[in-house]
């Protein structure tokens, strides 16, 4: 399978595909996430697209079966399909997700539906707290489910660290700090502002990027990871209370 070295090389083709089935009901195609930023790597990064349709076309998702299937074979994930109304009415429910989209995106076709959306800090604080505490529980459960096997612990770290980087961007927004573009810089700035150990999270990010620690080392890393997430969960409590 040919790698997509630069996301922009598929923009024209994917636009033609969706225009061919949705025509004037296609409002936007937006690439978001690592594919639209400086962290894109052909071997490890996802290509995530937001497809914005009219209210009429959103009920005709079956038209996209073949296109979605074909692009999945090229390592493009199943897009998020939304309407403008859904986006405008959901920023209070999913501020963290939309904030991260807004941080790193490229308009491939049509309207820039993300440019003008905004977020209330109170709603974002609540979601950050909920996400951190929820991830802490899932990491504990996930660790037990690994049975101590190195490959499974490595997979758990790789899957979870991306979510934490997204949360960190939300935490920086709460302090009116512009989140850096690279994941490593996001970790470093958030660690400084929220008093946790940056090296642990940076190591976890390196594991996601392909580093393979020894069996003994990865257990040490994961336990340190749990400790820092627990510390962060306590910090967000005091931060929320002091910010009201």
pLDDT of residue 174: 94
pLDDT of residue 63: 98
Contacts of 213 (CB under 8 A, 6+ apart): 150, 154, 207, 221
50 SS3 class: strand
Residues facing residue 23 across a β-bridge: none
Residue ranges per structural domain of the chain: 7-110, 121-243
Strand ranges for 59-185 from DSSP E = 80-82, 105-110
Closest to 228 in 3D by CA, of 205, 199, 206: 199
Please determine, looking at this structure, whether the domain spanning 121-243 carries the CATH number 1.10.3470. Answer: no
- Scanning the structure block, which residue is given the tokens 């904030």? 99
- Do the domains 121-243 and 7-110 match in fold? no
pLDDT of residue 1: 55
pLDDT of residue 217: 94
Class of domain 7-110: alpha beta
**Residues lower than pLDDT 70 in the chain:** 1-2, 240-244
Question: Considering the entire predicted model, what is its pTM?
Answer: 0.86
Asked if residue 102 lies in contact with residue 112, where contact means CB atoms within 8 angstroms, the answer is no
pLDDT of residue 243: 45
Asked if residue 93 lies in contact with residue 58, where contact means CB atoms within 8 angstroms, the answer is no
């Amino acid at each position: 399978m040919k790698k997509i070295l630069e996301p922009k090389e598929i923009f024209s083709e994917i636009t033609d595909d969706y225009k061919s089935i949705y025509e004037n009901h296609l409002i936007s195609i937006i690439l978001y996430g690592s594919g639209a930023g400086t962290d894109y790597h052909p071997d490890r990064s996802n290509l995530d697209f937001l497809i914005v349709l009219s209210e009429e076309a959103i009920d005709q998702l079956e038209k996209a079966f073949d296109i979605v299937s074909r692009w999945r074979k090229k390592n493009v994930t199943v897009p998020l399909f939304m309407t403008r109304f859904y986006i405008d009415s959901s920023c209070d429910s999913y501020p963290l997700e939309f904030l991260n989209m807004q941080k790193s995106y490229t308009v491939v076709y049509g309207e820039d539906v993300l440019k003008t959306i905004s977020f209330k800090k109170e709603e974002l604080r609540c979601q950050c707290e909920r996400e951190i505490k929820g991830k802490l529980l899932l990491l504990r459960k996930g660790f037990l489910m690994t049975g101590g096997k190195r490959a499974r612990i490595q997979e758990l770290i790789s899957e979870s660290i991306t979510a934490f980087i997204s949360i960190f961007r939300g935490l920086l927004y709460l302090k009116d700090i512009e989140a850096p573009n690279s994941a490593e810089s996001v970790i470093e700035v958030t660690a400084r502002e929220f008093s946790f150990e940056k090296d642990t999270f940076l190591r976890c990010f390196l594991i996601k990027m392909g580093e393979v620690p020894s069996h003994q080392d990865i257990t040490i890393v994961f336990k340190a990871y749990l400790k820092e997430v627990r510390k962060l969960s306590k910090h967000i409590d005091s931060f929320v209370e002091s910010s009201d």
